[in-house]
Structure 1
Amino acid sequence: MNVKKFTAPTSREALRKVRESLGPDAVILSNRQSDGVVEILALANDDAASLAMPAPHSPMAEPAPSLDLGTTAVPAGRVEPRFEDELPHMSPPVTVKPASLPEQPQRRVVASHASFATKTAAAAATVVAPAAPAAKAAPAIDASQIAALVGAAVASAQESAAAEMSGVMHELRAMRGMMETQLAELSWGATQARAPHKTAVLREMLAAGFSASLSRYLIEKLPANRDAADSLRWIKTVLTRNLQTMANEDALIAQGGVFALVGPTGVGKTTSTAKLAARCVMRHGPDKLALITTDAYRIGAHEQLRIYGKILGVMVHSVKDEADLRIALKELKNKHTVLIDTVGVSQRDQMVAEQVSMLQGTDANVKRLLCLNATATQETLSEVVRAYQGSGLAGCIMTKLDEAAAIGNVLDVVIRHKLNLFYVSNGQRVPEDLHLADPAYLIDRAFKLKRDVVATQYQDAELPLLMSGAGGNTDSLREVHLG
């Protein structure tokens, strides 16, 4: 063995010397740096190969013995060599009793002995465990298991692809919405400069309480070559035409039937019931009318309607559930008109569905009239309509008209949800403050209530931004008749 030492200022230079002297296959034994010099000990490839091969006549060159943990017999005619004689520096072998080991397949142990090198190399022995006997063949996987594995892999890939596609579609929708908003803002900015009369009409509609979506829809449909006054008259005409009302009271008072007034708490259901009862008594007399209340929650609610009934000479019946209501309606089937005053329930309460189910579960055809508070916001009124809609509303009554600063909000909801407006209530007097809905009067009043603040409610720079987000949901406006 010929170990050589190479020194150089850098590792690159030292490796170059090793390659030039011993060739590209040289074996690097050590690499260290001292006193600013890199020192490498290297060995030629042929010398390194001789270290791994045992001497021709050494015991390590003999065939590897079979290690049988159960027996200690040695073949006759040959003396078993002892490793400790050849390797004096190794610890003596540890004797292991066969009984202390678990049963296992036999292994062949081959010890390779490397020649002792010079003072820089230490003696070593390498024990190599060759491959064990051939393992038993793995059980064959049947077709159903393969199909299950393939199906699971395909399902996982599809799920991953679906999740990725969902994320991409979400980003695309967000980009589309942003682009639509920006384009709409630019469009309305150009409209202000090109058609100032549209901006004036838009301010009027927004100040009257109409929604931005309905206002934008009608402004876009304005006929050309009209000034602000003519455009506003056209808007009023279209709104009047699309406000469905009851032409006369014969549809309710003369025909009769069972009517239930529904709506949230505090919208005036009991007072409106008393007003309708007074109209029925004036037309047909007290014997043709019956009053029913389901409000057993509020203190004095039953007594309030009983007082109205006493004044009108009409009996008031109180029911608690659907069974009581069914019995009461059977007893009152000979009455011309039956009015039901229901308990007020918030539009976000699950009791709304229970109340609708109770009214629809009777044998009688109960027509539901929704009371809409004119002082509520558009968002609140829309929630109320969606909650109480059920299988359909016969109509609605606008209450607290005298308390509202603007009524365009409630008229907007009635138009967009295609409700039939029966009455408007503008006070507490019974029965005077209940009137048939007049579409032209209501639309004209909506624009007159806020005329004094039209010019200051929205600035010119705010209108494009406001209208850019008003075109998202126009499905409910497609049935608006323009005439």
Structure 2
Amino acid sequence: MNVKRFTARTSREALALVRQALGEDAVVLSTKPSGDGVEVVAMAPESMAQIERMATSAATPAAPATAPASSRAAATRPGPGRPGVARTQSARGDAVAAPAAESVEDDIEQLSMSTLSFQDYVRDRMLKRRQVALQAESVAARAAVPVAEVPAGPLAARMAEAPAARPAVAMKRAQPVVQPGHAPVLGTLHSESAAHVSLHEPPVLREEVIVRTPAAPAAEAIVARRDQQDMMNELRSMKGMIEERFGALAFMEKLQRQPAQARLTQKLIDCGFSPALIRKLAEGMGPDVTDEMAWAASVLERNLLSADREPPLEDQGGVYALVGATGVGKTTTTAKLAAAFATRYGASHLGLITLDAYRVGAHEQLRAYGRILGVPVHTAHDRASLEDLLDLLSGKKMVLIDTAGMAQRDTRTRELLDMLGHRSIHKLLVVNSAAQGETIEDVLLSYRANTCRGVVLSKMDEAVKLGPALDALIRHKLTVLGVANGQRVPEDWHRLSSNALIHRALRPTIATAYRMDASEVNLIFAAPHHQSHGMASHAALMEHA
């Protein structure tokens, strides 16, 4: 057997070497990558012919010379009382002879192309073996059923017309060695099989297999595509996990090599800033930075927008609607703004409207502040009444609208925002600075913070960490219009600069149980991180660093 191995840089070059050495009719047995490129194992066509002869001789073994031909003929010829035996032996003869006559010859025809891949060859061989197995199962099932129980049909009629033809063909293909004294019996069998040879070309069982085989490749193709898709999904998942883990390891290794970045990371985590913002700050800090906290404070201060250098809201005037989640202090903030305006310009130039008609007695708090200031409070139940009140108060320098508190995931939040869609209304989003970072993020998205005039930070006196709120404002590029740090009206209303807010956020007083040491920082940065909303702001933040 002439089997050779060829190695080249590419498959095309390897196949060219195969054709040059073995000819155009060479048979490619396998292809696989190697250290030098691609390795191809091929065989000469003469070796394939040798395999064909060996397979043919193995498929037609000679019968023992001592066995009388007459007894074998009698055993294969069905008699009146032995129909089941004749059917069984006939089926066995076809099951053995069919693969021997088809396997090698069909393979020679399919392998005549020199570029036939080894994978196609193996798949064809497996399909043929499966067809042979289906034939054997069908033969066994038919042989187990008595002749009387088989329903009359085209195939049954053909089998009934020539019950001895199938055993005769099987004996003819087997080519037994017969003693001279029994030659007439063998000749009789050959004559009987020749008389009915037209009934068995193609054989009956092959017709049944041909009917069933078209669905098999389609089902196998579907299963193969599904397995391939599952494998690709697993590979993508593994690739993403490996990239995330290696990225986290690289970041932590960088922190270990640069102690200043490690200290900055730990302090910012204690202040409540998000890991995404901390990662950007740590990566942007240069090696020449001596005071990492002062450097981080300057970067955060330049990226936090504050209205401390603009005229205050009470001086600008206009129509302002205070919106926000439940219990963030919208009514109290409205009263503080109203008191600050009335103190400077007088109550006659101020208008107050409340939309909080959902809760019983909810508008009474604002009415109490209005009585103190000497300003009537109007109630609007829908958009039409709100527009009428705005027309009525159009001569006022400042109009404040107090809205009902709704959870950020309440379905009525969208209705409230649509109600405040009048072109003259400026929305002020009131955010609880003591809330968690995830909650603040959800509030900013639900109340469409990008369409608001700015943000008011409330309950600063209750906030242990101011970092989460400022982190969200930096990422969404929102302006801080004012802060509220108490219940007093109007004493607890302030306008702070970005510098004051950042320094307030960088000096947290957290309990020891919630403080993380250097070794526990790995737990945060070893977790997978994804591109989240506001990462574009982080990139812009690094430009200002």
The answer to whether the Cα contact below 8 Å between 2:355 and 2:380 also exists between their aligned partners in 1 is yes
- Selected match of 1:325 from 364, 378, 386: 386
The answer to whether the Cα contact below 8 Å between 1:245 and 1:437 also exists between their aligned partners in 2 is yes
Q: 1:468 corresponds to which residue? A: 526
Q: 1:189 corresponds to which residue? A: 252
Q: 2:71 corresponds to which residue? A: 43
Q: 1:440 corresponds to which residue? A: 499
Name which of structure 1's ranges 166-175 and 380-389 shifts more when overlaid on structure 2: 166-175
Cα deviation 1:122-179 (Å, max 9, x = unaligned): xxxxxxxxx9xxxxxxxxxxxxxxxxxxxxxxxx999999977764564344223311
The answer to whether the Cα contact below 8 Å between 1:274 and 1:431 also exists between their aligned partners in 2 is yes
- Selected match of 1:21 from 54, 66, 70: 66
CA distance in 2, matches of 1:347, 1:296: 18
1:244 to partner: Cα distance: 0.2
Q: Name the aligned partner's letter for residue 450 of structure 1.
A: T
The answer to whether the Cα contact below 8 Å between 1:188 and 1:464 also exists between their aligned partners in 2 is no
* Structure 2 portions without partners, runs of 5+: 1-60, 81-156, 165-198, 200-218
1:457 to partner: Cα distance: 1.6
Identity %: 38
CA distance in 1, matches of 2:223, 2:503: 58
CA distance in 2, matches of 1:270, 1:207: 32
Q: Is 1:310 matched with 2:368? A: no
The answer to whether the Cα contact below 8 Å between 1:245 and 1:438 also exists between their aligned partners in 2 is yes
Q: 2:270 corresponds to which residue? A: 207
The answer to whether the Cα contact below 8 Å between 2:244 and 2:528 also exists between their aligned partners in 1 is no
CA distance in 1, matches of 2:395, 2:222: 63
Cα deviation 1:354-377 (Å, max 9, x = unaligned): 1111111x3x42111111111110
CA distance in 1, matches of 2:159, 2:77: 21
1:184 to partner: Cα distance: 2.7
CA distance in 2, matches of 1:348, 1:252: 29
CA distance in 2, matches of 1:290, 1:194: 61
The answer to whether the Cα contact below 8 Å between 1:279 and 1:431 also exists between their aligned partners in 2 is yes
Q: Name the aligned partner's letter for residue 523 of structure 2.
A: L
1:280 to partner: Cα distance: 1.4
CA distance in 2, matches of 1:205, 1:401: 19
Query: Could you say if the C-alpha distance between residues 305 and 18 of structure 1 is closer, same or farther in structure 2, counting changes exceeding 3 Å?
Result: same
Q: 2:151 corresponds to which residue? A: none
Q: Name the aligned partner's letter for residue 199 of structure 1.
A: A
Q: Name the aligned partner's letter for residue 482 of structure 1.
A: H
Cα deviation 1:199-253 (Å, max 9, x = unaligned): 11111111111111101110110021233xx111110000011110112462522
Q: 1:482 corresponds to which residue? A: 544
Query: Could you say if the C-alpha distance between residues 335 and 50 of structure 1 is closer, same or farther in structure 2, counting changes exceeding 3 Å?
Result: closer
1:270 to partner: Cα distance: 0.4
Matched residue SS, 1:478? helix
The answer to whether the Cα contact below 8 Å between 1:216 and 1:470 also exists between their aligned partners in 2 is no
Higher relative contact order (Cα pairs below 8 Å, separated by 6+ residues): 1
Query: Could you say if the C-alpha distance between residues 313 and 174 of structure 1 is closer, same or farther in structure 2, counting changes exceeding 3 Å?
Result: same
Query: Could you say if the C-alpha distance between residues 21 and 326 of structure 1 is closer, same or farther in structure 2, counting changes exceeding 3 Å?
Result: farther
CA distance in 2, matches of 1:367, 1:165: 55
Matched residue SS, 2:507? helix
CA distance in 1, matches of 2:523, 2:316: 50
The answer to whether the Cα contact below 8 Å between 1:184 and 1:467 also exists between their aligned partners in 2 is no
The answer to whether the Cα contact below 8 Å between 2:450 and 2:476 also exists between their aligned partners in 1 is no
Q: Name the aligned partner's letter for residue 44 of structure 1.
A: R
Q: Name the aligned partner's letter for residue 385 of structure 2.
A: D
The answer to whether the Cα contact below 8 Å between 1:397 and 1:421 also exists between their aligned partners in 2 is yes
Q: What is the TM-score when the length of structure 1 is the normalising length?
A: 0.66
CA distance in 2, matches of 1:279, 1:444: 26
1:390 to partner: Cα distance: 6.4
CA distance in 2, matches of 1:238, 1:338: 37
CA distance in 1, matches of 2:539, 2:238: 26
The answer to whether the Cα contact below 8 Å between 1:184 and 1:464 also exists between their aligned partners in 2 is no
CA distance in 2, matches of 1:162, 1:409: 47
Q: 1:216 corresponds to which residue? A: 279
Q: 2:327 corresponds to which residue? A: 266
Query: Could you say if the C-alpha distance between residues 160 and 393 of structure 1 is closer, same or farther in structure 2, counting changes exceeding 3 Å?
Result: farther
CA distance in 1, matches of 2:365, 2:460: 22
Query: Could you say if the C-alpha distance between residues 318 and 220 of structure 1 is closer, same or farther in structure 2, counting changes exceeding 3 Å?
Result: same
The answer to whether the Cα contact below 8 Å between 1:263 and 1:372 also exists between their aligned partners in 2 is yes
CA distance in 2, matches of 1:195, 1:282: 55
Q: Which has the higher helix share?
A: 2
Query: Could you say if the C-alpha distance between residues 286 and 166 of structure 1 is closer, same or farther in structure 2, counting changes exceeding 3 Å?
Result: farther
Q: Name the aligned partner's letter for residue 407 of structure 1.
A: L
Matched residue SS, 2:351? strand
Q: 1:428 corresponds to which residue? A: 487
- The within-5 A match list for 1:37-116 is 43-45=71-73, 48-49=76-77, 51=79
1:301 to partner: Cα distance: 1.4
Query: Could you say if the C-alpha distance between residues 180 and 46 of structure 1 is closer, same or farther in structure 2, counting changes exceeding 3 Å?
Result: same
Query: Could you say if the C-alpha distance between residues 50 and 403 of structure 1 is closer, same or farther in structure 2, counting changes exceeding 3 Å?
Result: closer
- Selected match of 1:449 from 476, 496, 508: 508
The answer to whether the Cα contact below 8 Å between 1:204 and 1:451 also exists between their aligned partners in 2 is no
Query: Could you say if the C-alpha distance between residues 173 and 244 of structure 1 is closer, same or farther in structure 2, counting changes exceeding 3 Å?
Result: farther
CA distance in 2, matches of 1:283, 1:158: 81
Query: Could you say if the C-alpha distance between residues 430 and 110 of structure 1 is closer, same or farther in structure 2, counting changes exceeding 3 Å?
Result: closer
- The within-5 A match list for 1:310-459 is 310-360=371-421, 362=422, 364-389=423-448, 392-450=451-509, 457-459=515-517
Cα deviation 1:422-455 (Å, max 9, x = unaligned): 001000000010100221111111122237859x
Q: 1:102 corresponds to which residue? A: none
- Selected match of 1:288 from 349, 352, 356: 349
Query: Could you say if the C-alpha distance between residues 264 and 452 of structure 1 is closer, same or farther in structure 2, counting changes exceeding 3 Å?
Result: closer
* Structure 1 portions without partners, runs of 5+: 1-15, 27-41, 53-106, 115-130, 132-155
The answer to whether the Cα contact below 8 Å between 1:213 and 1:470 also exists between their aligned partners in 2 is no
- Selected match of 2:238 from 175, 179, 188: 175
Q: Name the aligned partner's letter for residue 414 of structure 2.
A: A
Q: What is the TM-score when the length of structure 2 is the normalising length?
A: 0.59
Matched residue SS, 1:368? strand
- C-alpha RMSD of the superposition: 3.5
CA distance in 2, matches of 1:50, 1:402: 106
Query: Could you say if the C-alpha distance between residues 218 and 109 of structure 1 is closer, same or farther in structure 2, counting changes exceeding 3 Å?
Result: closer
Matched residue SS, 2:544? coil
Q: 1:278 corresponds to which residue? A: 339
1:197 to partner: Cα distance: 1.5
CA distance in 1, matches of 2:504, 2:511: 13
Larger Rg belongs to: 1
